[in-house]
Amino acid sequence: MPRGHARSTSGLDDRLTAGQGQFGPPLSWVGLEEQLWRSGRVSSASVATIRGQRSTDWTMGRRRRRCFLASAGMSASSTFDVIFVGAGHNALIAASYLVKEGSSVCLLDQHATPGGWVRSEELTLPGFVHDTFSALHPIFVGGPVFAELGPELAEHGLRYVQGQTSTGASFPDGRSALIETDPDALAAELDRLGERHAWTQLMTAVSPHLDSLGPLLGMDLASPEAAGLLRALCRDTGSSVPFTALLSGSGRDLLGDRFASEELIMAWLPWLLHVGLGPHDAGGALWSVLLMATLLAGNPAPVGGSGRLAEALTGLVTAHGAEIRTGVEVDAIVTTGGRATGVRTTDGEQLTATQAVIASTTPDQLYGRLLRDAAGVPESTRAQARGYRYRRGCFQISLALSARPRFADSRLDAGGGINVGRGLNELMASVGQAADGLLPTHPSISWHEPTAVDPSRAPAGQAVVRLQVLDVPLYPTGDAAEEFAVDAGWTTSVAERFADRVIAGAAQHISGLEQTVVGRHILSPADLARTNPNAGPGDHASGHNALSQAFTQRPIPAHRGGYATVVPDLYLIGAASWPGPGVGGSSGRAVARRLLNSP
């Protein structure tokens, strides 16, 4: 790509946080049947649900208390009720519930700041604020965590905004589809595409399942309550789309069998890649319905960047006395009498947990490293953890632009997450090429321009854009287009050449894009792997999320879809646990409520 004076940076340094950041399913559905039936009965202009000036309370709180953001080596207590391994957003959410009820907690993270994959930085040029990892938070805003903690998070500066566009699809020939939060606008779009009747039929068929699915998404699937809901769902065979068909079916079949419009299919189908599934994976039909329900309400992001959520959560927990120690790597989880009783750091320090240890990690890391010396772990569980699978990589480009980008269909300029590609056949081809270890010829692009709804993210009249490609191999062995050699994985040269291809592909939808690029930053799967062990070899979803490794099998059969591990008083949360990847806080909230004996 001719970059002119554009600045290009790739990779990330070791300052990044080790906790979780995620991209996954919704937690609760307030009036969801009505939203589905009315095609998104939500305020169309914005969802600035938490207002107020950005506060500095968390900084002030750090000054007031002795060791809130302690660096490695500071003298502090060594005994807590609950110790967290990793300080990502799920850990911070769990800690929020616990400290508000008086528990003493300590969060340990190997990097410099809390928040995990919820982070914003000036990655390209001064004044251009990019989301390093996650960007949009529809699941969090629509779920119970925000409903319960939102007012206090507002005191720490958290505010959300969204435009009228939630998602959509763009094709090089100018075809498009638009999913807006206004139900009348969506109805008009469905009429334009000739899909109003098919849409209504699908929504009518799936809406009866949602009363049970909503609670399940925020519930420990190993609990008796979840078992009852699952039994009820499986018994309901009267729908034209039974729950069991959603659970075992693919997104490609669900959407392709019902919609004739390629534009409408492509507005929804690529979203499966965000939650760790491919178009043909079993379980994709269920997640397609859940994602459709979520995105009908909009696609909000924090004002100032995704990292504002991490800052607000940090402010909340520290204001209530939580201790966060950064620059600390946990070497092992300590067990006594077969129970988790604390952790040992790589510096040899031992901390004691009187109630529980909560780890934001993956099962292979948990049983293969953190519990490597623990007695009593069944060999079958260790074998399951060794077999935990990662599927696709995440390739992300952050662009600084000298002017706002414009789609051929100007309606797509109003924010949200837009699926940019060549159509259904190319999506299937690119996913297949990635599975074969090849860089796709025409990668599918998830396009997000934060400045469409938040101009504070860039200098006046300029813009920031994120191009995310989720159909890339974890370790490329070749190039499907045969344009350049790939013989050593994600080298800097390979990443730069592939970034050129992605930007050139986006430019087919946005005239003059390449000429407005003044800076870019590249994040490859290899960069993800280096910065966070939870990505495994570079998987943003922290593991494949198809049916064989999802639902009651997530992350491994021994956990039965729950958060308790085979070691008593040890819990696993984050993207590798149910319900999977996504900024939502479901697993953190569920474990905290269990420890607090909340109903």
| DSSP per-residue codes, 449-470 | -GGGT-GGGSSTT-EEEEEEEE
Tokens for 181? 């939060």
Strand boundaries in 346-489, DSSP class E: 350-360, 393-401, 417-420, 438-439, 445-448, 463-472, 478-479
Q: Residue 263: pLDDT band by 50, 70, 90 thresholds?
A: very high
pTM metric for this prediction = 0.88
Query: Mind listing the pLDDT tens digit for each residue in 300-326?
Result: 999 999 999 999 999 999 999 999 999
Residue 351: the pLDDT is: 97
Q: Residue 423: pLDDT band by 50, 70, 90 thresholds?
A: very high
Residue 62: the pLDDT is: 31
| Mean pLDDT, range 212-236, rounded to an integer | 90
- Cβ atoms of 576 and 362 closer than 8 Å: yes
Distance CA 419, CA 467 (A): 10
Distance CA 95, CA 64 (A): 19
- Cβ atoms of 142 and 297 closer than 8 Å: yes
Q: Residue 580: pLDDT band by 50, 70, 90 thresholds?
A: very high
- Closest C-alpha among 166, 116, 120 to residue 141: 166
Read off φ and ψ for residue 143, nearest 5 degrees.
-105, 180
Tokens for 565? 């591990």
Percent of the chain with pLDDT over 70: 87
> Other CB atoms closer than 10 Å to residue 280's CB: what's the count?
15
Distance CA 370, CA 439 (A): 34
Average pLDDT of every residue of the chain: 88
- pLDDT of 549 higher than 80: yes
Residue 210: the pLDDT is: 86
Residue 52: the pLDDT is: 23
Residue 65: the pLDDT is: 31
| Mean pLDDT, range 351-364, rounded to an integer | 98
Contacts of 254 (CB under 8 A, 6+ apart): 241, 246, 284, 285, 288, 289
3-state percent helix, strand, coil for the chain, nearest multiple of 5: 35, 20, 45
| Mean pLDDT, range 574-596, rounded to an integer | 96
- Cβ atoms of 396 and 441 closer than 8 Å: no
Q: Please tell me whether the peptide bond between 555 and the residue prior to it is cis, using omega within 30 degrees of 0.
A: yes
Residue 214: the pLDDT is: 85
- Closest C-alpha among 129, 180, 29 to residue 458: 129
| Mean pLDDT, range 192-209, rounded to an integer | 95
| Mean pLDDT, range 397-415, rounded to an integer | 96
Q: Residue 359: pLDDT band by 50, 70, 90 thresholds?
A: very high
Pairing of strands 120-121, 478-479: unpaired
Residue 238: the pLDDT is: 82
The DSSP 8-state label assigned to residue 370 in this structure reads I
| Mean pLDDT, range 322-334, rounded to an integer | 97
Domains of the chain: which residue ranges? 54-118+133-161+304-388+544-595
Pairing of strands 393-401, 517-523: antiparallel
Amino acid at 112: A
- Cβ atoms of 136 and 471 closer than 8 Å: no
Distance CA 386, CA 523 (A): 27
| Mean pLDDT, range 549-577, rounded to an integer | 96
| DSSP per-residue codes, 9-63 | EES--TTS--S---B------TTHHHHHHTT--S-SS----S-SPPP-HHHHHHH
- Closest C-alpha among 430, 447, 599 to residue 513: 447
Residue position matching structure tokens 């939870």: 534
Residue 598: the pLDDT is: 59
Distance CA 530, CA 110 (A): 13
Q: Residue 17: pLDDT band by 50, 70, 90 thresholds?
A: very low
Residue 29 vs residue 283, higher pLDDT: 283
Helices 57-64 + 307-319 axis angle, to 10: 30
Residue 66: the pLDDT is: 33
CATH number (3.10.620.30, 3.50.50.60, 3.40.50.1820, 2.50.20.10) of 54-118+133-161+304-388+544-595 reads 3.50.50.60
Asked which of 211-225, 260-274, 341-355, 493-507 is least confident by mean pLDDT, the reply is: 211-225
Amino acid at 235: R
Amino acid at 474: L
Tokens for 335? 């067990």
Distance CA 589, CA 25 (A): 14
Tokens for 410? 């100007």
Tokens for 72? 């490695």
Residue 3: the pLDDT is: 36
Query: Mind listing the pLDDT tens digit for each residue in 24-65?
Result: 333 333 333 333 333 332 222 222 222 222 222 222 233 233
Residue 76: the pLDDT is: 59
